[in-house]
Amino acid sequence: MFKSIFTNSFGILISRILGFIRDMLQASILGANIYTDIFIVAFKLPNLFRRIFAEGAFAQSFLPSFVKSRQKSVFSMSIFLKFLGFLIVFSIFVSLFSNFFTRIIASGFDENTINEAAPLVAINFYYLILIFIVTFIATLLQYKNHFATTAFSTALLNISLIGALLYSQNESAKTIVYHMSYAVIVGGFLQLFVHLIAAKRFHLFKIFIGGFRGLKRKKEKITKDAKNFKSNFSASVLGSSTAQISAFLDGWLASFLVSGSISYLYYANRIFQFPLAIFAIATSVAIFPKVARHLKNSDTKKAEVMLEKSFWFLAYLLITATIIGIIFSKEIVWLLYERGAFSSVDSANTSLILSMYLVGLIPFGLARIFSLWLFAKHQQKEAAKISAISLGINIVLSLSLIYPLGAAGLALASSLSGFILFYLTVKKFGIDKFLNIVKDKKLFILLFIIVLVIGLSLFVKFLIQ
């Protein structure tokens, strides 16, 4: 288990380091201005779908259904072709009506800015087709207990964007964001290429070819499996992507604030996503196939033991990351971004928002561990209801806090909704089972210290701000 977690974490770590290098160059070359906001908005929609697919809904719905299916090749090919066809048509639709979709993503933009952003939205959206194919192959590789290719391949997108920034750094801001948008597509092709190599190595082409050949003859045999997957996936889209949808809503609301607010939220959320990815996402992705197999075989005890070990491993990492991140948020932002066009004022604004996001790191991270239990037991609808409540509270809090606190209020609202998500997920998992995991009294002493440190740190930051 820990070997898989380490492989995932190390691969994501390399990718995130390259991501920070990319962000440093982006902040230095573009700063926090309207063109940075435009690119972030253009990449926001496909990136939201990427996170939902790659880090949540698709894998968590497809893998349990794939494990359970008696016609694995036919089932997988049927799902693949339906999704691919839909995404191709949808991408063309977005391209044709890019102004309409840009208005949805960033309603606060004026007409001129929307016209500037619309072509970039159309270009970036085609990345979604590529990343779906990557995610599909990656899910089958998870079934084969191979995680390295997927974990390390995300670095290729960042390498492509870094190359675009370096190549066009002396050009106008408008030219730079166009180069970055095309680099997103190049990064998608590179990710697909390495996954095709891994698919050949693990003999996955047999599944593709066999499924395609038998699709017409055996289509009726997978009707029940496909129906169950469809039902579970629709629920999982909401149930596994609360943090991503919250960040998306933050960006939408921030478009009504002063110029640069979207950029501050983006840069702060990028740092917040770092520990969430290398610890929480890496852990949940690594243990999910094993938990699904144990529950399928009615070996609940082994699944619970794996969950308990993962909980403690993750809890200590997230607690440490939260405390360090909040105390040193200003220094972290200064080190990563404050150079070139990114000023000390930009650093101060981003630092405060980062602290607000980090309040929710522990609940969002630990909620993933318990939500995967629900997904493995085909309780996607219950997980979706929990996320719907959490998102509803997030929206109410965002509207309440945006005016007194600005962009920082949006980040704080997201974090507070994370606590609701965690509580409701644990309640569905089973309060008694959860208490058995945290029966050590030392945890409660530790939590008291955490709350005290975080509370004092935030109070000091508000006074300084």
Segment 116-167, tens digit of pLDDT: 888 888 898 889 889 889 988 988 888 887 878 887 888 899 899 999 999 9
| C-alpha to C-alpha distances, 397 to 244, 277, 288, 404, nearest whole angstrom | 17, 25, 32, 12
pLDDT attached to residue 241: 60
Query: Distance (Å, rounded) from C-alpha 414 to C-alpha 355?
Result: 12
* Residue 195 binned pLDDT confidence (cut-offs 50, 70, 90): very high
pLDDT attached to residue 424: 93
268: part of which helix (H) or strand (E)? helix 261-275
pLDDT attached to residue 187: 93
pLDDT attached to residue 423: 92
How many CB atoms lie under 10 A from the CB of residue 368?
A: 26
Six token digits for residue 380? 């996607």
pLDDT attached to residue 26: 83
The pTM of the full predicted model, rounded to 2 decimals, is 0.68
pLDDT attached to residue 287: 77
- What's the pLDDT tens digit per position in 270-312? 889 888 877 887 777 777 777 777 777 777 788 777 888 888 8
- What's the pLDDT tens digit per position in 228-279? 777 777 666 665 566 667 767 777 788 778 777 888 888 898 889 888 877 8
Q: Which letter, b or e, does each residue of 156-171 get, where b requires 16 or more Cβ atoms within 10 Å of its Cβ?
A: bbbbbbbbbbeebeee
Six token digits for residue 209? 């070819």
* Residue 3 binned pLDDT confidence (cut-offs 50, 70, 90): low
pLDDT attached to residue 51: 64
The residue-averaged pLDDT of 45-73 equals 71
Residue 377, pLDDT > 60, answer yes
Residue 55, pLDDT > 60, answer no
* Residue 451 binned pLDDT confidence (cut-offs 50, 70, 90): low
